Amino acid sequence: ELKNLRNQLNPHFLLNTLNNIYALIAFDTDKAQSAVQELSRLLRHVLYDNQQNFVTLDKEMDFIRNYIALMRIRLSSNVTVETRIDIRPDSRTEIAPLIFISLIENAFKHGISPTEPSFIRIRFSESPEEIRCEITNSHHPKSQADKSGSGIGLEQVLKRLELTYSGRYDWKHGISEDGKEYYSILAIKP
């Protein structure tokens, strides 16, 4: 079941990334070329490292940095992206590969308005007790006509967490009381 979930994740991730690059080709070929280079780095991780049950946290953070760099390429000036990765560059803590990527994808997919100022804040930290991923982004409710996002990504995250870290994770996510932010706070005990 875990292998099936990972195999479902790869095409979903690749499709979103290729759509972003396709949009870039029309208005900035240099950025599009740079994006293809970033994508090749990401695919190397997805194709080789994702087939293992666990990867080191430093490798996973490299993947996440590359993914965020790829996503930044297509953002307008009214979007602020803040990242803070408090993980040792040589961390050997093991983590399930691509466990965080759907959460980050969602922030870029649903946290950005084409017209209003938007933000995404991503923070990772590691202590001997836990690996922590905190993501907050602006919340722009979808219109009835917007069919993007079926919730499959979050369902897959939950299934993978249950299969790999049952009883060893805490995940809080939802919309803030004022309705302006979406948050996801995931703590995993390795």
Q: Does domain 2-188 have CATH number 3.30.565.10?
A: yes
* pLDDT given for residue 5 in this prediction: 54
Rg of the chain over all Cα atoms, to the nearest angstrom: 16
Contact 55, 95 (CB under 8 A): yes
Output the pTM of the full model: 0.82
Average pLDDT over residues 106-128: 94
One-letter identity of residue 68? I
pLDDT at 86 over 90: yes
Confidence class for position 140, pLDDT limits 50, 70, 90: confident
Residues 6+ apart with CB under 8 A from 78: 116, 117, 118
pLDDT digit string, tens, across residues 66-83:
889 888 877 888 999 999
Looking at the predicted structure, is the pLDDT value of residue 28 above 90?
no
Structure tokens at 23: 């949009």
> What pLDDT is recorded for position 18?
84
Alpha carbons 4 and 65: distance in angstroms, whole number? 25
The pLDDT, as a whole number, for residue 171 is: 98
Give the pLDDT band of residue 155 (cuts 50, 70, 90).
Answer: confident
Report which of residues 189 and 109 the model is more confident about.
Answer: 189
With contact defined as beta carbons under 8 Å apart, do 187 and 131 qualify? yes
